[in-house]
Amino acid sequence: MNAIGFVVNPIAGMGGRVGLKGTDDKLEEARRRGAEPRAPDRGRDALETLVRLRPELTVYTAAGSMGESVASAAGFEPNVVFEPDSAATFSSPEDTGESEPAAENGQETTAKNGWETTAENERETTAEDTRGAVRSFLERGVDLVLFVGGDGTAADVAEVLEQAGAETPMLGVPAGVKIYSSVFAVAPADAGRVAAEFDRVELREVNDIDEAAYRDGIVRSELKAVVSVPVAPEIQSSKQLASGNVDSLAAGYARDVDPEMTYVFGPGSTVGRIERELGIDASPLGVDVWRDGEILTRDATEDEILATVVDPFTIVVSPIGGQGFLFGRGNHQLSPAVIRRSEALDVVASGEKLDGIGAFRVDTDDDDLDERLRGWVTVRTGRYTTRLVKVV
């Protein structure tokens, strides 16, 4: 491999921690709630691994926040081959230093999550921007398209590859809220490692869901494309939507709740069944905070969880079927700050669901916390039964 195309969806995942379950058509609402960019940092993590392993690679990218800023911060000297009209310009935390961001040429700048952006250019990038960048990459004959985003971004990249009849493989750095496609690495550093070392590809699915329906608790998945993806154990599987009967599990868990404990219930049908058993009007795909028969916060954001939860509290989650993620897919409200403050973690899943997983994974944006969470965890599988599963 001699050259890659690198593109970032800079708003991917911004809606997660503020409870929007995605950012499609919700960017301004996400910003109003205080959302910060997460895609630049995750893209940089991937490229820092890649530059360490393959420093000689040629990197083609889009201008500003859609790739150039991130690639430069990671240590590459990128070749800008696409200029999106709507791209904000990000500067890395190291470039901006510790001081307040200064105005340049009369333009107001703001700092978000350590990445400085130029306010005059800070507009939502579009799907067509992503597609335009990928077309430019294909014109340069890249050996891989490495993108940072979620399922929507994956669908945009795949659309161009299919329209061009290109056999160029694609690989995702997971940064979105919902990750249903099997074209993503498990974690950002994994994406860099796979990009550096892969020697063969296989066909995998790109799926996307209707975010508006998702916010109403309806998971409506659609196959968007079948594309070439590097073969590696660090590539995640497609998400399975069915998890089996959990009635006995829910009844057993509800029977054992502690009135002196606060429960932070994560999203998903398994946890939702427990909530219904407790008489909770659950948010189908949100996070609910509950204590001794009372909902403290429904469909809570990260900040709302931290502000309203009564200590001690336990987090209740169920792994994503087929992928095994406990944190980092669809539940970004359960942030490192929330997890670190919790008293305990209760993992629940039917035996049937566990049979299709094998091992659990975590991707919290906090490497130290991910390492702390690794190891064996007890999973409640029924009214009385449990099983040990390893977090890898």
In the chain, the domains with their CATH numbers are: 3-230 (no CATH), 247-391 (3.40.50)
Question: Looking at residue 227, what is its pLDDT?
Answer: 93
Taking a C-beta distance cutoff of 8 angstroms, is the pair 146, 46 a contact? yes
Mean pLDDT along residues 256-260: 95
Alpha-carbon distance 174 to 147, whole Å? 9
Q: Which of 123, 129, 138 is nearest to 67 (CA)?
A: 129
Taking a C-beta distance cutoff of 8 angstroms, is the pair 228, 201 a contact? yes
Taking a C-beta distance cutoff of 8 angstroms, is the pair 12, 22 a contact? no
The tokens for 260 are 């002196």
Alpha-carbon distance 202 to 196, whole Å? 17
Taking a C-beta distance cutoff of 8 angstroms, is the pair 334, 287 a contact? yes
Question: Looking at residue 211, what is its pLDDT?
Answer: 56
Asked if residue 182 has pLDDT above 60, the reply is yes
- This prediction has a pTM of 0.66
146-158 pLDDT, tens digit per residue, is 999 989 899 999 9
Question: Looking at residue 244, what is its pLDDT?
Answer: 40
Question: Looking at residue 224, what is its pLDDT?
Answer: 86
264-311 pLDDT, tens digit per residue, is 999 998 999 999 999 999 997 899 999 999 999 999 999 999 999 999
- Using a 10 angstrom Cβ sphere, with 0-12 exposed, 13-18 middle and 19 or more buried, the burial of residue 234 is middle
3-state SS, residue 136:
helix
Asked if residue 97 has pLDDT above 50, the reply is no
Alpha-carbon distance 145 to 130, whole Å? 11
Q: Which of 80, 106, 102, 81 is nearest to 91 (CA)?
A: 102
Bridge partners (DSSP) of residue 228 are: 203
